[in-house]
Amino acid sequence: MPVAQGGAQRAARHRLGRVIHLAVAALLVATAGSVAAPAPARAATTLRAVVIVGPVGGSTTRYLERGERIADAAEARGMSVTRIFHPRATWETVVRSAQGANLLVYLGHGNGWPSPYGSYQKLTKDGFGLNPYGGASAYTTKYYGEGPIAEHIRLAPNAVVLLNHLCYASGNGESGHGIPSQSVAIQRVDNFAAGFLRAGARGVFAYGHQYVTDVIAALFTTDKSLDAIFMTPSGTKGFNGSRDFWASSSGTAGKRLHLDPYPDLGYLRAVSGDLTMTAGEFRSGGAVSTSGTGDTAPPRLDGVRAVGAAHVFSSTASGGPIFTPNGDAQGDRLRLVYSGLSEDAYVDVRVRRPDGTLVRSFAVWSGRGTGTIIWNGKTDSGAIARDGAYAIRVAARDRAGNRSSWRTVGAGVMTTLESIAVTPRLFYARDGDALAPRTTLRVTLIRDAVVTWKIVDRDGNIVRERYSARASSRGTLGWHWYGRDATGAFVRDGVYYSVVSAKTAAGTYGQRTAFRTGAFRIGLSDPSPRRGQSVTFRVVSAEPLARAPSLTLRQPGVSAYTVSTRNVQGRIYEVTVTLRSGGTSGTLALVTSGIDSNGRRQSTAMAVPLQ
């Protein structure tokens, strides 16, 4: 949840004693570092910043403006900045862009713990609130918590994370929740920082009101420690110091927390991690001297596996999965999942063609244990690797230069099929009207190929075939499907797949795209709910409706009951229902019913397991 901004004026009313304290604190901080602060400096090599702004409802525009201001501040210091802003702030984009970042900034909803919502778990708590898909509403948020962040993101050595204008991260809850106890504030700060520290950050700043541009300036113009930067006064929203305290992290071994609550506003400032790290270390980008360390033991790397796009299939002998780095955002990246890394280390990656030609060489600083590294399918020159099979060698290297044994996996690059689309993904032809009678299938060939294109059901049975081994020239192919099989009969409502494949000199591969025919698509916040649980149902209508549809629920051993949905956007409707606590487990039957804008009744049924 976003932090309310209404207390800024109250924070300005400092008493004389607080002013004296701030002046003394400023003097202590100034004398604690080097004799003379260094001149503003740029890093010897370009440091990378990633600025993320998630959806925050009616506050989104204001947050986007803040994010742009922060991105500008980082660029002014010579950083290479990637902006990941609503409505394209998706998890996939964040994971792809955050790898190796020196500075990671997030503004958006905060779903922390302890909180009044649900129970503690790492899947969604203490992380990002992002768009569930590109172009999503500002009122729709999907959370990715400590667990996914620690598993999928690897920041650069000496990276710093800045959490700005979100609830829970600095200790306070939401506006109107009151000031928490000190112990609750400590838990919230500790929990929110944990995933980012495990992802490789050395320090995590969490500011509820204060702009983090002050931190960015200090990282580039001083040699202060993170703690000294935190204690630098900055107007009425900076260091308060009248009640600040330190605590040891209970979730991340060896890390410290520093909280700086305001007497009237509570916990709006915190920093976590290795508080002794300096701004100079940040600017070094992790470069350290290892001479004389005496470290001769190589790190251990137990295994590596390559993971391609799940919707891509191939008959090409690539020795591994296929991915499609042609820039259409459909399976563009290959995931290299390592396991058993014995210590924090660089993971070296070498990509070669079957003839041994080296096409890509890079290294990523990674944390011990299990993690993921991304190859974007490009060569060292920045060009997309040509289609074919590749051998990828991976090894771990510590700061002293000791290297583990190499692990080798295979993968294939295939790029002929580009921008595959099925639009819309939900249509309803069987009622015979013109409101949503068809879907359109398209693909762009970036080179000549032999194309096969068909529609299959869930079991793989062919219901319609458009192209069968047809020689096709580069360009766009497309066709309409009206929901009928080869005999002309309407198919049953349900999920179907567009399956298009291309054969070239490099081999044969294809992609499967799922879509649905039927009046409604029904989604649940929990696909396997429990009796007595509160569940949000999302109903998407294929056709425009005369009014919001209803949802009928049938639980085993309980009388059926019907609820009304509400429109949230376009043809999307939602309702939150507390399932009946009685009856037995088994199958929860759902029926959505509505009337389209032509006055025709329609419905869709589905069933889910009920615990």
Q: What percent of the chain shows pLDDT beyond 90? A: 74
Residue 37: predicted pLDDT: 37
DSSP state of 323: E
The angle at the Cα of 169, spanning 168 to 175, to the nearest 5 degrees, equals 35
Residue 263: predicted pLDDT: 87
Task: Indicate if the pLDDT at residue 209 is higher than 50.
Answer: yes
Q: What average pLDDT does this structure show over 267-296?
A: 79
Average per-residue pLDDT in the chain? 88
Architecture of domain 44-284: 3-Layer(aba) Sandwich (3.40)
pLDDT category, 7, cuts 50, 70, 90? Answer: very low
Q: Tens digit of pLDDT for each residue in 325-360?
A: 998 888 888 999 999 999 988 888 999 999 999 998
521 touches 426 (CB < 8 A) = yes
Tokens of 461: 């049975």
Amino acid at 224: K
Residue 236: predicted pLDDT: 58
Q: Which of 193-197, 293-297, 403-407, 506-510 has the lowest mean pLDDT?
A: 293-297
440 touches 426 (CB < 8 A) = no
Name the helix (H) or strand (E) containing 434.
Answer: none
Residue 478: predicted pLDDT: 96
Residue 45: predicted pLDDT: 55
Which residue, chain included where needed, has tokens 């000549």? 448
Residue 587: predicted pLDDT: 97
The CA R_g of the chain, rounded to the nearest whole Å, is: 27
pLDDT category, 235, cuts 50, 70, 90? Answer: low
192 touches 126 (CB < 8 A) = yes
Q: Which residues contact 196 (CB under 8 A, 6 or more apart)?
A: 104, 149, 155, 161, 204
Residue 287: predicted pLDDT: 52
Task: Indicate if the pLDDT at residue 99 is higher than 80.
Answer: yes
Alpha helices in 160-308 (DSSP H): 182-198, 213-221, 226-230, 279-284
Residue 520: predicted pLDDT: 98
Residue 560 to residue 545: CA distance in whole angstroms: 24
Residue 69 to residue 66: CA distance in whole angstroms: 5
Task: Indicate if the pLDDT at residue 364 is higher than 80.
Answer: no
DSSP state of 596: B
Task: Indicate if the pLDDT at residue 288 is higher than 50.
Answer: no
**What CATH number does the domain located at 303-413 have?**
2.60.40.4070
Domain boundaries defined on the chain: 44-284, 303-413, 417-517, 520-610
Task: Indicate if the pLDDT at residue 70 is higher than 60.
Answer: yes
CA atoms within 13 A on the CB side of 597: 9
Q: Tens digit of pLDDT for each residue in 11-65?
A: 333 332 333 233 333 333 333 333 333 333 333 357 999 999 999 999 999 999 9
Q: What average pLDDT does this structure show over 481-505?
A: 96
Residue 317: predicted pLDDT: 58
Q: Which of 234-238, 273-277, 333-337, 349-353 has the lowest mean pLDDT?
A: 234-238
Q: Does the domain formed by 417-517 have CATH 2.60.40.4070?
A: yes
Q: Which of 4-13, 137-146, 461-470, 511-520 has the lowest mean pLDDT?
A: 4-13
Q: What average pLDDT does this structure show over 448-477?
A: 97
Q: Tens digit of pLDDT for each residue in 377-402?
A: 988 877 899 999 999 999 998 877 79
Name the helix (H) or strand (E) containing 70.
Answer: helix 60-76
Q: Which of 25-34, 92-101, 161-170 has the lowest mean pLDDT?
A: 25-34
180 touches 242 (CB < 8 A) = no
Q: Which of 119-128, 352-361, 365-374, 386-395 has the lowest mean pLDDT?
A: 365-374
Residue 186: predicted pLDDT: 97
Query: Are the folds of 303-413 and 520-610 the same?
Result: yes
pLDDT category, 10, cuts 50, 70, 90? Answer: very low
Residue 290: predicted pLDDT: 43
Q: What is the pTM of this model?
A: 0.56
Q: What average pLDDT does this structure show over 211-237?
A: 88
Which residue, chain included where needed, has tokens 């702009």? 211
Q: Tens digit of pLDDT for each residue in 412-435?
A: 999 999 999 999 999 999 999 999
Residue 371 to residue 364: CA distance in whole angstroms: 11
Q: Does the domain formed by 520-610 have CATH 3.30.450.40?
A: no
Residue 34: predicted pLDDT: 31
